[in-house]
Amino acid sequence: MANSSAKTIATFPPVEKCNSIGRENHTIVADMDGTLLIGRSSFPYFALIAFEVGGYLRLLFFLLASPLAAILYHFVSESAGIQVLIFTSMAGMRFSSIESVARAVLPKFYSEDLHPETWRVFSSCGRKYVLTANPRVMVEPFLKEMLSADMVLGTELGSYKGRATGLVRKPGVLVGKNKEDVLKQTFGDERPDIGLGDKLSDAPFMALCKEAYIVLPKPKLKAVPSGKLPKPIIFHDGRLVQKPTPLNALLTLLWIPLGFPLACLRLAAATLLPMSLAYYALWLLGVYVTVKGTPPPPANKSNCQGGVLFVCNHRTMTDPVFLSIALGRPIPVVTYSISRFSEIIAPIKTVRLRRDRSADASMIKKLLQEGDLVICPEGTTCREPFLLRFSALFAELTDELVPVAMVNRMSMFHGTTARGWKGMDPLFLLMNPNPAYEITFLNKLPKELTCGSGRKMSIDVANYIQSLIAETLSYKCTSFTRKDKYKALAGNDGTVPIDKNPILKANKIMGC
């Protein structure tokens, strides 16, 4: 049987020879790892689930067990190796937590590894099926929501009282003969038009298709560019910046015991030292702040001069702190939501908005009479090069508006979360080996472009500042709001949690 399969797979032409024109009425069945994706190993995606749900110790356990999985995969059976990965990464986890990570975290990493030739063929077909050894719950959100797959036929996880057992249900891990059997059960006497696979164990199901093509490994093959994806990744969650390959996972585990005390030291420098000294202390500790443009001078209180409103895009909750460090003086900030822990440790005054328009307007006016103020009108953070819709309230309250473009660089951990504990956001940001902020102060808006001119509505001013910041950063403007983000990632509106996570829905991106 092995010799027969080997001969069969050798006869399959490469996917590059598959014609993708006129396939609108055709059905395609494709494997995932090494076929739809360039990467042939699912280790990074299991590692993401292990870390994002189970934390440091679960990732350590998973990494220690991975050599056993590799030995079983290559010398015993493909099924046994995958079973070890499933058990060590998921056993005992709440099923809902696995689903949450699959929806909010994994699509970002999957989309960065999409095989260009496979995607050319896959996207051209009218009906799309994916047949994979990966757990269905792990891959289905990405395949259905991002790639418009009609059905995902994957390994089914066992569960007990809402938790994954780490074992799989019949017929077991979908490899080899199991894939063939599942395909027969799904299609019956009908034969799919195209079958795509990348390894020997895919030969049985590929042989059932009218046409079959092999996806051969190619070194240095570039994934489908993000701009050519059917739906852009704007919102995503999770703490890890880079895909946790075995080496990256090991480096992350080794760094955390060193990075955490370093982050605490950096946090102490930012919160306890005067702002004029914090800049230099952070630079010595490996946190770099670059300032561009010319900020306005402090408000002159002796002349009863009100303050200016710094209008910033929102990358992390520490944006106002780094802006204050760049200015060398503490600037109060108004915020829609902040954890109690972050509020306590903040070195600047933080004022909560009540989501009551008249009360919030009165509070902001009062603060501006006392001096300068910072606001992030997006209302929530965005990691990707996009700007969310700017709330227009700020434009009605003052004509002293200074746009500020914020961008940060993180190499290991994201300093934001929608699903986790927000109080840890500053520590995760500062746990990066060399976190950096670039702050660009734009020119203060002239009177004729503010509401004070009598010719501009507040929404026009807000949209103009949004486009101005987007142009400075080479970002794109969107109409997304805070609620869109939290519904997509956490299944709530950012204030009141609910039990179920809605399926991520695509929205059109507006040009700036």
pLDDT per position as a tens digit, 128-161: 999 999 999 999 999 999 999 999 999 999 999 9
Residues 42 and 122 in one domain: yes
Residues 66 and 143 in one domain: yes
Domain membership of residue 147 (yes or no) is: yes
CA geometry: angle 427, 435, 291, nearest 5 deg: 120
Nearest alpha-carbon partner for 147 in 472, 497, 504: 504
Residues 313 and 443 in one domain: yes
- The radius of gyration of the chain's CA atoms, rounded to the nearest angstrom, is 26
Residues 160 and 278 in one domain: no
Residues 287 and 403 in one domain: yes
Domain membership of residue 511 (yes or no) is: no
Q: Give the global pTM.
A: 0.91
For range 415-425, the mean pLDDT: 89
Domain membership of residue 152 (yes or no) is: yes
Residues 205 and 347 in one domain: no
Give how many domains the chain has, as a whole number: 2
What is the distance between the alpha carbons of residues 253 and 120, in angstroms, rounded to a whole number? 38
Domain of 266 in residue numbering reads as 246-489
Question: If you average pLDDT over every residue of the chain, what do you get?
Answer: 90
Residue 165: which CATH number? 3.40.50
pLDDT band at 501 (very low <50, low <70, confident <90, very high): very low
Task: Count the neighbouring beta carbons within 10 Å of the beta carbon of residue 250.
Answer: 14
Domain membership of residue 18 (yes or no) is: yes
Domain membership of residue 506 (yes or no) is: no
Task: Count the neighbouring beta carbons within 10 Å of the beta carbon of residue 237.
Answer: 22
Name residues whose C-beta falls within 8 Å of residue 130's C-beta, 6 or more positions apart in sequence.
29, 30, 31, 32, 36, 139, 143, 149, 151, 152, 153, 154
Last residue of a domain, one of 197, 228, 259: 228
Residues 210 and 310 in one domain: no
Residues 126 and 257 in one domain: no
Domain membership of residue 494 (yes or no) is: no
Last residue of a domain, one of 228, 257, 277: 228
Domain membership of residue 497 (yes or no) is: no
Residues 208 and 260 in one domain: no
For the record, the structure tokens of 233 come out as 């990744």
pLDDT score, position 231: 87
Domain membership of residue 346 (yes or no) is: yes
Distance of CA 335 to the CA centre of its chain: 23
Nearest alpha-carbon partner for 207 in 2, 16, 11: 11
Residues 168 and 294 in one domain: no
pLDDT greater than 70 at residue 5 = no
Residues 15 and 98 in one domain: yes
For range 481-501, the mean pLDDT: 69
Residues 220 and 279 in one domain: no
Last residue of a domain, one of 228, 261, 281: 228
pLDDT greater than 70 at residue 9 = no
